[in-house]
Amino acid sequence: MRVLVTGGAGFIGSHVVEALRAGGHEPVVFDLRGGGAGGDVRDPDAVSAALARVDAVCHQAAMVGLGDGVSDAADYVSHNDLGTAVLLAAMARAGVRRLVLAGSMVVYGEGRYTCARHGTVRPGPRSAADLAAGRFEPRCPSCAADLAPGLVGEDAPADPRNVYATTKLAQEHLAAAWARSTDGTAVSLRYHNVYGPGMPRDTPYAGVASFFRSALARGQAPRVFEDGGQRRDFVHVRDVAAANVAALEAERAGGTLGAYNTGSGEPHTVGEMAVALAGAHGGPDPVVTGEYRLGDVRHITADSSRLRADLGWKPQVGFEEGMREFATARLREG
């Protein structure tokens, strides 16, 4: 299969390219960084040219991370949503009917919570006053009791809490509309916290694992926000790349969007990750700062069993093994 990989020179995209080659496919790299079919996914002419003789598209190109509140909202919408719309329109014209989209678990907002009295509940956004006072855990919206975090399934309602999350949800809606109108097959892999070799260093748009790894490379202690108790699912980039290949190879009925949570299945706190990474690197030890960012969610870990059952995928890199590798892995500039 000849596969156009948008963002194919980036962190996740480059690993997808490697996994496709290893699987006997022919990846075509399309990326702002150049190389291969270099170009901007928002450029209709460049995208149309890149789609020549292509059987499928793996859409990884995106502006990622929490960013700067809403001041860079136009950039996010341009790169993520306009870019996706341009790509899908070009695919419709070219007759390319197979798409795998780099989705994100951020579309859920806060994760799944259970109240002993009220059952499953969905707390609203945490207030600046609570965060400033160190009250980091969401409370039951009905009785203000403590909540127990759990796993989110793909059928949970979307509740994006920041600009990036909103654009990722819009990408899914655009892909669903394209699939219905073309009878194409579309899969969104809702990534958890992806980490591994080739992550970008020292950028406000990288993930928390990159922040910590960059600090350690400078000889500085990783700075852990809140109290470090935020639950996440850290999934290795090679496992994510393998999930993309599995989704591209899967036989699916056209006309709908299939969404799959893509995580390791082993939730860990941010504090645990910082300790494991610092330990594998040889220090310095993390510092818990109590700082916070509005728009961050407290706990988000999702159930990835549907991906395992439907596509036969399962992660191969465990948490401890992955952190040991990542502690000394190469990072990408910018």
Please give the Cα distance from 9 to 277 (Å, whole number): 26
Helix residue ranges per DSSP H, 135-269: 163-182, 208-217, 237-249
Residue 333: the pLDDT is: 79
Any domain includes 139:
no
Any domain includes 35:
yes
pLDDT > 90 fraction of the chain, expressed in percent and rounded:
85
Q: Residue 155 is which amino acid? A: D
Q: What is the DSSP string of 33-98?
A: T-SSS---TT-HHHHHHHTTT-SEEEE-----S--STTTTHHHHIIIIIIHHHHHHHHHHHHT--E
Any domain includes 297:
yes
As beta bridge partners, residue 187 has: 100, 258
CA-nearest of 89, 87, 145, 93 to 116 is: 145
Half-sphere exposure in the Cβ direction for 132 (13 Å, CA): 3
Please give the Cα distance from 57 to 84 (Å, whole number): 11
Indicate which CATH number applies to the domain containing 253: 3.40.50.720
Q: How many domains does the chain have?
A: 1
Any domain includes 100:
yes
Distance set, CA 141 to CA 112, 256, 277 (Å) = 13, 34, 35
What pTM was computed for the model? 0.94
Please give the Cα distance from 54 to 49 (Å, whole number): 10
Residue 141: the pLDDT is: 94
240-256 per-position pLDDT tens digit: 999 999 999 998 888 88
Residue 35: the pLDDT is: 55
What positions carry a catalytic annotation?
Answer: 164
Any domain includes 30:
yes
Structural domain that includes position 107: 2-111+152-327
Any domain includes 14:
yes
77-86 per-position pLDDT tens digit: 999 999 999 9
Average confidence score pLDDT of the chain: 94
What is the band of 124 on the pLDDT scale with cuts at 50, 70, 90?
A: confident
Residue 3: the pLDDT is: 98
155-210 per-position pLDDT tens digit: 999 999 889 999 999 999 999 999 999 999 999 999 999 999 999 887 766 689 99
Q: Which range has the worst mean pLDDT, 78-87, 91-100, 118-127?
A: 118-127
Q: What is the DSSP string of 231-243?
A: EE-EEEHHHHHHH
Any domain includes 238:
yes
Residue 235 dihedral angles phi and psi, to the nearest 5°? -115, 135
Any domain includes 146:
no
